[in-house]
Amino acid sequence: SNASQTVDLSNCDREPIHIPGRIQFFGCLIAVSQDWIITHLSGNATEMIGLDPDTAIGTPLRDHLPPETIHAVRSRLQIAAHSDAQARLFNVAALNDERLFDIVVHQSGSNWVIEFEPKTEVRGAQEAAWAVQPLIARVGRRKTIEGLAEEGAKSVKALSGFDRVMVYRFEEDGSGTVLAEAKMPGMQPFLGLRFPASDIPQQARALYVKNPIRIISDVESEVFDLIPQQGPDGTPLDLTMSVTRAVSPIHLEYLRNMGVCASMSVSILKDGALWGLFACHHNSPRLLAYEQRSMIELFAQLFAYELALKEAEQDRAEADQARVLHDQLMAQVSDGRSFVNNFETVAEDIRRVIGFDGIVLSAEDRFVSLGSTPTEDEFRELTRFLNTSAASSVFHTDCLSARYTPAEDYVERAAGAMALPISRRPRDYIVLFRREVARAVQWGGNPDKPVEAGPNGVRLTPRKSFEAWKQIVKGHSSPWSRAELNAAEALRVTLLEAILKVADAAAHERK
Ligand code: BLA
């Protein structure tokens, strides 16, 4: 029954975190069939709402809960039916006594899953409700993605009271960057650090697309088994959309090793894909009232909308930049100025559109290099390899040494390459280089911190998972993005045009 027994650190991606067979302590769970017969109960249901698995399973729910409660739940089912939505009821006297509960219902396969959370406090929630609009207005006034993220982190910290709130953005390779951070003074900063893709494995990212908020209220707390572990059809209850789902023991250990006691993360979606997370940490146990979590979820949705607007604006600005670059290069050529002689300026112009660590221009018998690149001799050899690729397109790779073995000699200087052929003859090139991502980026997992071994070995700390990741990304640069490849293609055409123009002019003079 224990899913973690079959999972180790080499197969993280396969841990079936959606069917853990257990829930966290802060709520209890009832599953019923379509005709409202109880099919599953969590082990803590007896204590929390008086439903004993030994006697209640297989009997109608109405034998156990007041009709008002069942009516209230059923009246919301329209919201939850046939969609990945959760219907929520706040402040319900579910047992007809003085105790209040928050109740959430969703559909899972052929079951309705009903989760009860005893009410803790409501004050934070009311404050959050007032604050969402002004906070989002502030986010919208920021000019850059980084500014937006910074305001977002501050806002979620204000709305949630967590000790640390980060905006964690996924890169194209699944690794992630801490783009913004709001934290208590004195805590070690994570701002700007990059973390490996394996820290938030694939199936977890997929689950976070469907269920946008997840809570780990206390990494040391007791968990409760679902009874029975399997339904009559032999399958475990799918907890993808549940609120109390017990968390992967591997991730719990990661948090303990980081010194985190409670965490909450809220998905930031763009075009239906996971753009990033608000990742929140607390140094002591923490559980927010359901309304407060709902307000934060709403904030994250509005934030994602602002983000999409800003990113679209930025895409337009980048396209404008590319046009400006085109005009500048053409103007230089028309002025009769050779861009070979002005290469430093040209390189800075290109950098505004495509990121690189080094750049080489080799045209006719000229060789100009800036930044981290192969030597001239190494480059001459490399051009013979580049000459074998298509003349009329941009060549690019984030792992040059995998395609061209001699590049192993300079993998530390130039791991990734993007080559723009800029003539039709035996070719002239502008080649952009990127350093190894393991060196070029500031990775999380501070090597100066002592490593403590847990039951899963020493691997499960940001530091150890980084060391493992370093093996995976060895020899690779960060990948060239779609936008950068588009810009490179436009640049190639511009340069070709510019160079032909120069050649024309020269031929004209010779006549
Ligand atoms: C989940 N890993 C997560 C989550 C985060 C991270 C944010 C989401 C759950 C949560 O809210 O806590 C990772 N947290 C980070 C990172 C930072 C942070 C990078 O604060 C940086 C500041 N994790 C590993 C390895 C494995 C692993 C090696 O490091 C697998 C062997 C697994 N991480 C793992 C799993 C989950 C997870 C399985 C899903 C947890 C769940 O939802 O059940």
272-329, pLDDT tens digit by residue? Answer: 999 999 999 999 999 998 989 999 999 999 999 999 999 999 888 878 887 888 888 7
Burial class (CB in 10 A: 0-12, 13-18, 19+), 66: middle
pLDDT interval class at 483 (50, 70, 90): confident
Q: pLDDT band for position 466 (50/70/90)?
A: low
Domain boundary among 118, 145, 178: 118
Q: Which of 62-71, 111-120, 251-260 has the lowest mean pLDDT?
A: 251-260
**Is residue 99 domain-shared with residue 182, that is, in the same domain?**
no
Mutate which of 254, 288, 463 to test ligand 1's pocket (most atoms within 8 Å of Cβ)? 254
Q: Which among 278, 312, 346 is the end of a domain?
A: 312
d(CA 207, CA 82): 18
**Range of weakest confidence among 32-46, 256-270, 369-383, 443-457:** 443-457
The answer to whether residue 24 is domain-embedded is yes
For atom 29 of ligand 1, the residue with the nearest CA is 199
Q: Which two tokens stand for residue 265?
A: 């993360």
Q: Measured on CA atoms in the order 347, 350, 352, 356, is the torsion positive or negative?
A: negative
Q: Are 30 and 40 in contact (CB under 8 A)?
A: yes
Query: Is residue 12 in contact with ligand 1, taking CB distance under 6 Å?
Result: yes
pTM: 0.81
Task: Check pLDDT > 90 for residue 121.
Answer: no
Is residue 5 included in any domain, yes or no?
no
Q: Is 208 in the pocket of ligand 1 (CB under 6 A)?
A: no
Whether residues 326 and 296 fall in one domain = no
The side-by-side arrangement of strands in the sheet containing 223-227 is 22-24, 223-227, 38-42, 28-32, 111-118, 101-108, 87-92
Q: pLDDT band for position 508 (50/70/90)?
A: confident
What pLDDT shows up at residue 423?
79
In a domain, 271, yes or no: yes
Model pLDDT, residue 323: 82
The radius of gyration of the chain's CA atoms, rounded to the nearest angstrom, is: 28
Distance CA(72)–CA(92), nearest Å, equals: 9
pLDDT at res. 442: 61
Phi-psi region of 488 (alpha: psi -120 to 50; beta: other; left: phi over 0): alpha
Cβ neighbours of residue 323 closer than 8 Å, sequence gap 6 or more: none
- Asked whether residue 446 carries a pLDDT value surpassing 90, the answer given is no
Average confidence (pLDDT) over 176-183: 94
Distance between CA atoms of 87 and 54, rounded to whole angstroms? 28
Task: Say what the pLDDT of residue 6 is.
Answer: 52
Across 109-129, average pLDDT: 82
| 397 vs 130: which has the higher pLDDT | 397
Predicted pLDDT at 5? 47
In the chain, the amino acid numbered 217 is S
Q: Which residues, other chains included, contact 205 with Cβ-Cβ below 8 Å and sequence gap of 6+? A: 170, 174, 274
CA 337 to CA 375: how far, in whole Å? 27
263 in Cβ contact with 281 (< 8 Å): yes
Cα 21 versus chain centre, distance? 26
> Stretch 484-498: mean pLDDT, rounded?
86
> Domain holding 21: CATH number?
3.30.450.20
473 and 503: one domain? Answer: yes
- Beta strands per DSSP E along 349-474: 358-363, 366-371, 395-397, 416-421, 429-434
Domain shared by 180 and 215, yes or no: yes
For the stretch 392-438, pLDDT in tens is 889 999 999 999 999 999 998 999 999 999 876 667 899 999 998 77
* Predicted pLDDT of residue 12: 76
How many whole angstroms separate alpha carbon 250 and alpha carbon 452? 15
CB 262 less than 6 A from any atom of ligand 1? no
Tens digits of residue pLDDT in 17-47: 999 999 999 999 999 999 999 999 999 999 9
Do 457 and 447 fall within a single domain?
yes
Q: Which two three-digit tokens encode residue 304?
A: 């994602």
Does 66 share its domain with 193?
no
What does the block give as tokens for 83?
């969609």
Q: What is the CATH number of the domain that holds 159?
A: 3.30.450.40
Asked if the model's pLDDT at residue 8 lies above 70, the reply is no
Q: What angle do CA 418, 484, 149 make, to 5 degrees?
A: 135
Number of Cα atoms under 13 Å in the Cβ half of residue 472: 14
Q: Rounded distance, CA 84 to CA 270, Å?
A: 17
Report if residue 231 sits inside a domain. Answer: no
Per-residue tokens: 419: 């080559």
**Mean pLDDT, rounded, of the chain:** 86
- Cα separation, 259 vs 229, in Å, equals 32
Q: Please tell me if the CB atom of residue 178 comes closer than 6 angstroms to any atom of ligand 1.
A: yes
Residue closest via CA to ligand 1's atom 18 equals 279
Q: Which atom of ligand 1 is nearest to the CA of 459?
A: 28
Does a structural domain hold residue 235?
no
Residue with tokens 């698995």: 53
- What pLDDT was estimated at residue 325? 81
Please give the distance, rounded to the nearest whole angstrom, from the Cα atom of residue 498 to the centre of ligand 1: 50
Q: What share of the chain is helix, strand, coil (3-state, %, to 5)?
A: 40, 20, 35
**398 and 416 Cβ atoms separated by less than 8 Å:** yes
Q: Could you give the CA distance from residue 500 to residue 506 in angstroms, rounded to a whole number?
A: 10
454 and 435 co-located in one domain: yes
The C-alpha atoms of residue 190 and residue 307 are separated, in whole angstroms, by 22
Residue 232, domain member (yes or no): no
Residue owning the nearest CA to atom 23 of ligand 1: 199
Question: In this model, does residue 157 exceed pLDDT 50?
Answer: yes
- The total number of residues shown for the chain amounts to 511
Please give the span between the terminal C-alpha atoms of the chain, in angstroms, as a whole number: 86
Q: What is the pLDDT of residue 247?
A: 94
Element (H, E) at 492: helix 482-510
Same domain? For 145 and 206 the reply is: yes
Are 203 and 175 contained in the same domain? yes
- State whether 151 and 253 are in the same domain: yes
Q: What does the pLDDT read at residue 317?
A: 84
Residue 506 shares a structural domain with residue 476: yes
Q: Quick check: 451 pLDDT over 60?
A: no
Reply yes or no on whether the pLDDT at 506 is more than 80.
no
Give residue 176 CA to ligand 1 midpoint distance, Å: 11
Domain end position, chosen among 118, 137, 164: 118
Specify the number of domains making up the chain: 3
Band (pLDDT 50/70/90 cuts) for residue 195 is confident
Token digits for 484? 């950068």
Q: Which amino acid type is present at position 324? A: V
Residues 344 and 284 in one domain: no
User: Which protein residue's CA is at the shortest distance from atom 30 of ligand 1?
Assistant: 12
The answer on pLDDT for 458 being more than 50 is no
Pairing mode of beta strands 28-32, 111-118: antiparallel
Whether residue 455 has pLDDT greater than 60: no
360-404 pLDDT tens trace? 998 877 899 999 999 999 999 999 999 988 778 899 999 999 999
Q: Report if residue 1 sits inside a domain.
A: no
CA atoms of 318 and 177, how far apart (whole Å): 21
Query: Is residue 465 within 6 Å of ligand 1 at its C-beta?
Result: yes
- Beta-ladder partners of 245: 23
Task: Report strand pairing: 111-118 vs 164-170.
Answer: unpaired
**Domain containing residue 266:** 123-222+247-312
- Does residue 348 lie in a domain region? yes
Specify the 3-state DSSP secondary structure of 74.
Answer: helix
- The residue nearest atom 22 of ligand 1, judged by CA position, is 190
- CA-nearest residue for atom 14, ligand 1, is 279
